């Protein structure tokens, strides 16, 4: 999922921040692994800043409050609050519009946005909706079982011919 070097860097910083055990979670590491390198550098800078802050434990309450407020403000600037289009929007980097459109198409496909849009075109009776949902659940379970049974099949040797 993410490189060992990144994991060891993060864990070494996490050990240094032992004064704040609630700051780092596994989700932090997972989120860092999926971010582009510039975002990773930002996250590591924040972790190192917390390391420096934990070393100076003689700070007063007001000073700690100010430091944590500044950190929260920086985080809010890096990731703005969610809005109605947050899950369906992509940013265009260096004029690569085609790449942005492909990634947006992938997001819309994963979220089944077009399917939901088509369903909302007309009213669906309650019984029909329940029947459709039951069918979708069954298809999903059946596909998972077929996938599992194919994974359990023993593959023939590579030189095997019929």
Q: What is the pLDDT of residues 80-137, one digit of tens each?
A: 778 888 777 888 889 999 999 999 999 999 989 999 999 999 999 999 999 999 999 9
Number of Cβ within 10 Å of residue 50's Cβ equals 21
pLDDT, mean of residues 134-151: 94
Secondary structure of residue 85 in the 3-state scheme: coil
pLDDT in tens, 22-74: 444 444 555 555 555 566 667 667 666 766 655 555 677 888 888 889 988 88
* Class of residue 96 by CB neighbours under 10 A (exposed 0-12, middle 13-18, buried 19+): exposed
Q: Which helix (H) or strand (E) holds 63?
A: helix 61-78
Opening angle at CA 116, ends 112 and 121, nearest 5 = 150
Looking at residue 2, its pLDDT comes to 46
Secondary structure of residue 24 in the 3-state scheme: coil
CA end-to-end span of the chain, whole Å? 38
Residue 116 to residue 77: CA distance in whole angstroms: 32
- 160 to each of 2, 113, 150, 156, how far by Cα in Å? 36, 44, 18, 6
Number of Cβ within 10 Å of residue 6's Cβ equals 15
Looking at residue 142, its pLDDT comes to 97
pLDDT higher for 48 or 151? Answer: 151
- How confident is residue 21, by pLDDT bands cut at 50, 70 and 90? very low
């Amino acid at each position: 999922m993410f490189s060992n070097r990144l994991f060891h860097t993060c864990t070494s910083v996490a050990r240094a921040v032992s004064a704040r055990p609630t700051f780092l979670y596994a989700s932090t590491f997972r989120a860092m692994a999926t971010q582009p390198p510039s975002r990773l550098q930002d996250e590591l800078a924040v972790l190192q800043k917390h390391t420096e802050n934990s070393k100076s434990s003689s700070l007063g309450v007001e000073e700690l409050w100010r430091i944590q407020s500044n950190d929260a403000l920086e985080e809010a600037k890096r990731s703005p609050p969610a809005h109605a289009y947050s899950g369906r929007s992509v940013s265009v980097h260096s004029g690569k519009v085609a790449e942005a459109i492909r990634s947006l198409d992938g997001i819309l496909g994963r979220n089944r946005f077009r399917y939901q849009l088509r369903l909302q075109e007309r009213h669906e009776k309650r019984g029909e909706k329940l029947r459709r949902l039951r069918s979708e659940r069954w298809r999903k379970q059946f596909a998972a079982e077929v996938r599992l049974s194919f994974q359990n099949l023993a593959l023939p040797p590579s030189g095997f011919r019929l």
